[in-house]
Amino acid sequence: MKKMKILLLGLAVINPLSVSAYSNYIVASGQNIGIEISSKGLMVVGFYKIDGKLNKNDLSTGDYIRAIEGVEISTIDELVSNIDKYQKDGKVKLTIEHDGKTKDIIFNLVESNGIYKTGLYVKDSISGIGTLTYIDPETKIYGALGHEIIESNSNKRIEVKDGSIFKSEVSSIDRSTDGNPGTKNAKFYSGVTYGDVNKNTIHGIYGEYTKNINDKLVEVGKKDDLKLGKALIRTVIDGNEVKEYEINITKIDKNTEIKNIYFEITDKELLDECGGIVQGMSGSPILQDGKIYGAVTHVVVENVKKGYGVFITTMLEEGEK
């Protein structure tokens, strides 16, 4: 059987008395959003050659640099200034996190033309667009994307220090074709914030929604009530107008953590405009019979009309943790 390419868009303590705190009626949004996240420390995303050689020391892509000589850092400017301040004879002590474990290392800099260089590519933040899935009117918790945000070079999840979601408008669509998923292009209005970001998990990003909530509420559908057949997704493909588009649910899997709802886009307008699922649709709510059941999370690369979604109850439970 040919393997299909799929694109993203611990110890459990059982407490029989615990009750989910999320509301039974929520906003099923579909609104396009801009996203910006600052990471905890600086993520190492690559290495460049200095005088023909790489300077990795004991670092790997995906590691975080937390501190220099015990002084915590969170920006690239702080990395540069503190290395200049604390390095001795081309060496400096870094506190790093590797595979979830924190340790100190002595990092050897490289002198080139009288300047000490690290040879590191690092990131202190990441930004992009996605779709707002839901807002809980009682707790003001929101969920978006339905999947984690991963740094593309290291293929590692971004650990959130802080962040925000904000207004964005879809300016154009690069259409999807089989083997080549397209994308939404958008204008950012970072000064118009909708909420903060405090979690980046395999089930999406979460935080507190800070704007007024005036949208119509819809009932949260139970996974056992979801049926094969016709359903809808809510998303934006032009400006900030949220519209509903028809899909066909072909399979329901209750035994997996993220790929629960298999579907195919059947809406002619959406296919004409986008060719199929495009990047930026992640988080688009999935509705059936007036209830919200899930969110779009993945596109099948070889057949961009097909995709997967996660149960909304999974996202709601994640948001409450």
**DSSP-derived 3-state class of residue 226:** coil
What is the number of other CB atoms lying within 10 angstroms of the CB of residue 136?
22
The tokens describing 312, both together, are 């909304």
CB 91 within 8 A of CB 108: yes
Q: Can you tell me the distance from the alpha carbon of 287 to that of 135, in angstroms, rounded to the nearest whole number?
A: 15
> Closest Cα partner for 284 from 198, 180, 204, 197?
204
Number of H helices, E strands in the chain: 3, 24
Token duo for residue 57: 């020391």
Residue with tokens 């971004």: 158
Residues acting as catalytic residues = 147, 267, 282
Task: Return the residue matching tokens 């600052």.
Answer: 38
Residue 114: CB atoms within 10 Å = 5
* Start-end of H helices in 91-179: none
Helix, strand, coil percentages (3-state) for the chain, rounded to 5, are 10, 55, 40
The separation between CA 210 and the C-alpha centre of its own chain, rounded to angstroms, equals: 19
